[in-house]
Structure 1
């Protein structure tokens, strides 16, 4: 499975299990713009070199034994996409957990939600600091779909159905978040981003365990 697909799936699942996969849009659009800009720059460079070759009759800027203009691909783009997607999903997770701390019926769910708010807020602060150092632009707020999904779930506030929906979303989201983290740990280019993923993994696994405990109490 390509990593971009996991980005979208993990971000969507971290919002609500029933929400459309929209959390990674900012990331996808950003990468698409970067690729277009890079491609346009390459076209301009190629045209300039061809003109120089016509005038001199010699290859311009080429070295023997090397393939000119070959693109090797950038894992740094994947690291940036990971940071953007993790942040977007984190925004939704914090909002959803804050809501559950107030509106859930089960004490177990309220307690788990409070833990999630605290942990995700801490992880997101560290993620933003890392993104700032790496000059990665992060989304500023939840997506429209994320906010709409939370509003829909809030209609069940103070009912058992609310707890059921929240637990289902949290369980699916954290399970896929572990896949997202494992991808970055295994394939990420930047050592600091990989380390951030390693540090986050046991926290997310702990959240999943708490949610599953609550699932059994339903």
Structure 2
């Protein structure tokens, strides 16, 4: 009887062990770090050629211009948040810093992937009043919206076009906010 009992226990333990081994295989298969997939090597230009595309000069120019503008929006937003006398202007400056910092991060990743040199940051200019700042924001966002919509429509690189399309929505929202705040200032 004891032998029969120990045989049953051994059988159960063997089934459990086989089950554990079988499950561990699926766990390894689900862990991508265990089996890394091949990634294209080489420079971004090589990877782009492997994708069957190269970045057009217009797309490169858009990336550089959008980067310069985005960094300037962050710098000016920082100054507005700190120095504005109107609370709506301060809040607008904070929003510019937040939204344009995020857009800059996204664009910087594309620039790196496409091997486009990231421009140097510049200091924000000074303005005389909250009204001057908001006037500048309306003009900048009108110009930027036109550039982003043009790139979204006519760009040749799908990643750059997607960025432009997505960011144009935010720029349009900023323009509406800027016009609304600007209209209230004297």
Same fold (TM over 0.5): yes
Between the two structures, name the one with larger relative contact order (CA 8 Å, sep ≥ 6). 1
Q: Distance in 1 between matches of 2:183 and 2:150?
A: 29
Q: Secondary structure at the match of 1:126?
A: helix
Q: Deviation of residue 75 (structure 1)?
A: 6.6
* Pairing partner for 1:172 from 139, 142, 145: 139
- 1:150 and 2:125 equivalent? yes
Q: Distance in 1 between matches of 2:149 and 2:93?
A: 24
- 1:134 and 2:134 equivalent? no
Q: Deviation of residue 216 (structure 1)?
A: 2.4
**What residue is the counterpart of 2:67 in the other structure?**
87
Q: Distance in 2 between matches of 1:217 and 1:140?
A: 34
- 1:195 and 2:162 equivalent? yes
How many residue pairs are counted as aligned between the two chains?
A: 132
- 1:104 and 2:84 equivalent? yes
Q: Distance in 1 between matches of 2:160 and 2:103?
A: 12
Q: Deviation of residue 104 (structure 1)?
A: 0.7
1:155-188 deviation digits (Å, cap 9, x = unpaired): x3xxxxx101100000000011011011111211
Q: Distance in 2 between matches of 1:119 and 1:77?
A: 27
Q: Distance in 1 between matches of 2:67 and 2:102?
A: 12
Q: Secondary structure at the match of 1:150?
A: coil
Q: Distance in 2 between matches of 1:216 and 1:174?
A: 15
**What residue is the counterpart of 2:173 in the other structure?**
206
**Structural RMSD (CA):** 1.4
Contact 1:75 1:188 (C-alpha < 8 Å) held by counterparts: no
TM-score (normalizing by structure 1): 0.58
Q: Secondary structure at the match of 1:129?
A: helix
Gaps of 5+ in 2: 1-53
**What residue is the counterpart of 1:78 in the other structure?**
58
Q: Distance in 1 between matches of 2:169 and 2:132?
A: 24
Q: Secondary structure at the match of 2:85?
A: coil
Q: Distance in 1 between matches of 2:55 and 2:102?
A: 26
Contact 2:55 2:114 (C-alpha < 8 Å) held by counterparts: no
| Runs of 4+ residues over 3 Å off in structure 1 | none
Contact 1:75 1:189 (C-alpha < 8 Å) held by counterparts: yes
Q: Distance in 2 between matches of 1:111 and 1:210?
A: 11
Q: Distance in 2 between matches of 1:138 and 1:176?
A: 21
Q: Distance in 2 between matches of 1:94 and 1:196?
A: 18
